[in-house]
Amino acid sequence: MSTAVKKEHKSARPERGGQATLVEAIRQGIWEEMERDPDVFVIGEDVGAYGGAFKVTDGLIDEFGNERVVDTPISEGAIVGAACGAALMGMRPIAEFQFIDFISAGFDLLTNYAAKCRYRWGAGLPVVFRGPCGSGVRSGPFHSLNAESFFLNTAGLKIVEPSTAYDAKGLIKAAIRDPDPVLFFEHKKLYRLPRLREELPSDDYIVEIGKSRVARAGRDLSIITFGAMVLTALDAAEELEKEGLDVEVIDLRTLAPLDRPGILASVKKTSKAIVLHEASRTGGIGGEIAAILAEEAFEWLDAPVVRVASIDTPVPYSPPLEDYYLPQIKDVVDVARKLAAY
């Protein structure tokens, strides 16, 4: 006679609210939305039994089963296609890319199908395409991409990248509830950064897509940024405060649609602006923001708008080379000093 004892299922459900890192906040948000809406499901590579490459989906398959947590072959094109089809049938998929670099394998469906469904024949496509982006963690040229500029020129796609745990949870919940496709980029360097651990509310909340936030108020100069570069900007602002320069830091949070009123309000107050982003300089989002300021805030500018970004190369694997590639605190401080003296 077998003496085996069946183990009682123990839920890995995260607590609502409480202390959370950025990765834990995203996991909380997805879990809560799956509990709230039975049409929400997760699809991607290793999202089930393994719990995701960075453990964002850890425990979901035990709680919701393999019909709502779907492991796929290594085919990003198939993941995007399956998610789009499911959305057209009334579901709300959350499609994960193990690394955002490989979103390129689904580029055709994202830009020529998902982005255009609403415009072409009035069909909303409520899909979240999410995954880890960013460099600074020694992952080399194939696992460190910042892909926002690839999609900024495609009408119909919203793009979100949070820099705090509070925003990460509120924005993932807003993205899941959105009636149209949202690209949700998560900077992997921020996932478990102790500095970003914060107390989250226990009640249900969302952060509105399309709204920036003032991460630090100031009067002398604006730094407009997002993602991991928010921390670089804040650290630079602290250094500059010692020299008597009061810097405002704007965290965009949403990259498409850009919060034009928020950007303009800050620059009209300070009259000087740095646009800081991690992706390579040429063709980056900084050029678009600089153009907005030139067109709509020219009369308020007391100096040229300056972009600080990574150099135009693939992301190096070598730590010293990657540090050289990326904008550093010193780079921001040096540019701010020049603008202040302009």
Q: Is 219 helix (H, G, I), strand (E, B) or coil?
A: coil
Is 143 tagged catalytic? yes
Distance CA 17, CA 199 (A): 7
Distance CA 265, CA 82 (A): 42
User: Residue 219 in contact with residue 176, Cβ under 8 Å?
Assistant: no
User: Which spans in 255-318 are helix H?
Assistant: 260-270, 285-296
Residue 57, token pair as written in the block: 């989906």
Distance CA 300, CA 309 (A): 24
Strand residues in the chain grouped as ranges (E): 18-20, 40-44, 69-71, 92-96, 128-133, 158-160, 182-187, 198-200, 213-216, 221-225, 247-251, 254-256, 273-280, 306-310
User: Residue 240 in contact with residue 333, Cβ under 8 Å?
Assistant: yes
Give the torsion through C-alpha atoms of 172, 41, 159, 252, to 10 deg.
10
For the chain, first and last CA: distance in Å? 86
Residue 276, token pair as written in the block: 């800081």
Q: Which of 9, 143, 187, 277 is catalytic?
A: 143
Residue 47, token pair as written in the block: 């999202």
Place of tokens 């580029």: 107
- The catalytic site residues sit at 143
